[in-house]
């Protein structure tokens, strides 16, 4: 397909020795000449922030470009594998950001001198900021509409043209820089307010990156079979980063343990750490001379480097704005001729179906997408709750040392990473609905067992955690892929998904954190009446919350699957 746009005539310009991707002579001279005509059609064979026009051969052998158009980018820069890889690397950074907070929770609470519950509430600041950033998702539709020079609406009664340097990748690159700033601020925080600010910056970055990377990945690989493995790779990157986080944190802690070298459970715990009745540590001593802050600085560097690199890569075009090769210079939504199922409400014109029928179809689409959004809320909430509070669970319920809790968290994310890696191949053979069914049944069973058994041994916790993590792995990308089979994806839908992602990442951990409210952060806090922790209720609440979320997600999936298949049939029939 071609993108067709128009540009005003401009003064002649000469660009010498411009690289052309290997199909033009090295000594070719590129020129742009003005013409008498007001409008000149520009055809771009690849989606790019700056339209790359096809050069013309003049009689004297000089390659010419239409006025205002830039020479084509090198072919390797336009290949969809490059931005897809950068999305996956940014997903690694987001995974580290999400996973590192739980294992570092005790140290951060001692760093700012607050209770464990108050510090855990800081994750709510990150999630609320993520919700706000996710709501800006429709900006990607606007950027895609204006990246070929077409005017976009800038107000109620006026339109404007976007700068050529402003496209989806520059926005995502800026978001990554904000995430790097927040990551660097966290280890420097000495008050709850500063900690909340750092996490809020992280949340704003991850919200926009999550919305953008999922949407742009679907645009890049629109109607290509390679899209499913790349989507799995994107979320494999998240799981890989989440696995790396506790190990990176442990490596920078230089072997010290905030709960003490004795294992955090005292004499009773040391004698019987396989029982939940073991004595858990009542207080947490502030760390002295540790270097765990370097883990956050490494995360900041990863954000900044990858974000800067992405800013220079051309952004993909929306399949909704790609023309049908009609040469008119106008943009239109894809039609059945393009192999895309289009809702009547989005393909209708003056001679199309009645307005009431179109509005009814729109409501049906949003009804199904709303159920999918609830699935994301429950999944992300359960995923974040387990990964964030597994370390406190091991310390306060099982009476195990901090190191064991961090390694158990690493096992959880490592199992998810392995599951995501396996899902890349499985997605080529199994339908998204089949993968989801297997994953949801398995993870719900594990979550119920984890919540029902009152006393876990070290081995049983690690084995169940590994199975649970592997079963959670394919759910996010498979849910996205399943939603794309029900109706064509637009930024409005993925924005709703991201909003529910952020809502789940805030709501369920917030509920768990409420049960940790009275856990003191240090011996000084306990001496001032900070309260005595209850090892059998607060931290254990995480298991109950996760089990309920998994069971509810299974029920919502069955309902969404039933309604979605009916919607797909209605869209295919055009009714």
**Where does the pLDDT of residue 533 fall: very low under 50, low under 70, confident under 90, or very high at 90 and above?**
very low
Q: Residue 306 corresponds to which tokens in the numbers above?
A: 């990858």
- Whole-number average pLDDT of the chain: 73
Instruction: Tell me what pLDDT residue 156 has.
Output: 57
Percent of the chain with pLDDT over 90: 26
Determine contact, residues 501/373, Cβ cutoff 8 Å. Answer: no
Nearest Cα residue to 213 out of 238, 177, 191, 179: 238
Are 118 and 192 in contact by the 8 Å Cβ rule? The answer is: yes
- Judge whether residue 38 has pLDDT over 50: no
What secondary structure does DSSP assign to 103-142, as a single string? Answer: TTHHHHHHHHT--HHHHHTHHHHHHHHHHHHHTTTTHHHH
Say what the pLDDT of residue 42 is: 28
Q: Which helix (H) or strand (E) holds 525?
A: helix 523-527
88 pLDDT more than 50:
yes
pLDDT at residue number 283? 45
- Please, are residues 135 and 129 in contact by the beta-carbon 8 Å criterion? no
Q: Compute the average pLDDT of residues 40-68.
A: 42
CA distances from 284 to 98, 260, 542, 559 (A): 23, 9, 20, 46
Taking the CA atoms of 298, 299, 301 and 306 in sequence, report the sign of the dihedral they define: positive
Name which residue leads in pLDDT, 108 or 334: 108
pLDDT of residue 573: 80
- Confidence tier at 75 by pLDDT (50, 70, 90): low
Reported as a pLDDT band with limits 50, 70 and 90, residue 440 is: very high
Between 443 and 333, the higher pLDDT residue: 443
Q: How much is the pTM?
A: 0.63
**Backbone phi, then psi, for 163, in 5-degree steps?**
-60, 145
pLDDT at 404 over 80: yes
């Amino acid at each position: 397909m071609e993108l067709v746009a128009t540009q005003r005539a401009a003064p002649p310009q000469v660009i010498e020795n411009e690289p052309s991707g290997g199909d033009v002579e090295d000594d070719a001279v590129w020129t742009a000449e003005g013409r008498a005509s007001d409008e000149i059609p520009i055809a771009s064979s690849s989606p790019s922030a700056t339209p790359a026009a096809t050069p013309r051969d003049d009689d004297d052998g000089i390659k010419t470009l239409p006025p205002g158009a830039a020479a084509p980018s090198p072919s390797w820069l336009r290949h969809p594998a490059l931005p897809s890889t950068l999305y996956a690397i940014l997903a690694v950074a987001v995974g580290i950001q999400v996973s590192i907070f739980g294992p570092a929770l005790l140290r951060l609470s001692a760093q700012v001198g607050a209770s464990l519950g108050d510090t855990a509430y800081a994750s709510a600041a990150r999630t609320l900021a993520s919700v706000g950033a996710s709501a800006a998702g429709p900006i990607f539709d606007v950027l895609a509409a204006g990246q070929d020079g077409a005017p976009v609406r800038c107000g109620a009664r006026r339109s404007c043209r976007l700068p050529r340097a402003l496209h989806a990748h520059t926005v995502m690159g800026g978001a990554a820089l904000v995430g790097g700033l927040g990551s660097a601020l966290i280890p420097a925080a000495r008050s709850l307010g500063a900690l909340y600010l750092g996490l809020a910056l992280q949340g704003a970055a991850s919200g926009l990156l999550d919305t953008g990377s999922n949407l742009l990945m679907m645009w890049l690989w629109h109607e290509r079979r390679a899209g499913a493995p790349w989507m799995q790779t994107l979320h494999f990157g998240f799981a890989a980063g989440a696995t790396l986080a506790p190990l990176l944190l442990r490596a920078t802690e230089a072997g010290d343990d905030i709960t003490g070298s004795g294992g955090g459970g005292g004499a009773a715990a040391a004698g019987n750490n396989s029982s939940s009745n073991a004595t858990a540590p009542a207080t947490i001593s502030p760390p002295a001379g540790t270097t765990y802050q370097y883990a956050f600085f490494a995360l900041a560097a990863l954000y900044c480097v990858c974000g800067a690199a992405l800013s220079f890569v051309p952004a993909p075009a929306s399949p909704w704005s790609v023309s049908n090769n009609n040469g008119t210079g106008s943009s239109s939504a894809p039609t059945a001729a393009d192999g895309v199922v289009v809702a009547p409400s989005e393909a209708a014109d003056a001679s199309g179906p009645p307005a009431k029928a179109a509005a009814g179809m729109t409501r049906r689409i949003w009804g199904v997408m709303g159920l999918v959004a609830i699935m994301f809320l429950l999944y992300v909430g359960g995923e974040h709750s387990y990964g964030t509070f597994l370390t406190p669970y091991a310390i306060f319920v099982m009476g195990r040392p901090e190191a064991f809790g961090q390694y158990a968290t690493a096992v959880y994310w490592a199992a998810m990473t392995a599951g995501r890696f396996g899902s890349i191949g499985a997605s080529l053979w199994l339908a998204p609905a089949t993968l989801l069914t297997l994953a949801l049944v398995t993870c719900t069973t594990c979550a119920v067992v984890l919540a029902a058994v009152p006393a876990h041994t070290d081995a049983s916790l690690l084995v169940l955690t590994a199975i649970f993590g592997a079963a959670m792995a394919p759910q996010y990308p498979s849910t996205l892929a399943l939603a794309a089979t029900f109706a064509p994806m637009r930024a409005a839908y993925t924005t709703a998904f991201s909003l529910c992602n952020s809502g789940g990442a805030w709501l369920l951990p917030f509920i768990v954190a409420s049960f940790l409210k009275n856990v003191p952060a240090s011996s000084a806090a306990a001496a001032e009446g900070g309260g005595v922790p209850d090892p059998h209720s607060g931290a254990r609440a995480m298991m109950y919350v996760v089990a309920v979320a998994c069971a509810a997600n299974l029920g919502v999936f069955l309902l969404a699957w039933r309604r979605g298949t009916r919607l797909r049939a209605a869209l295919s029939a055009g009714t």
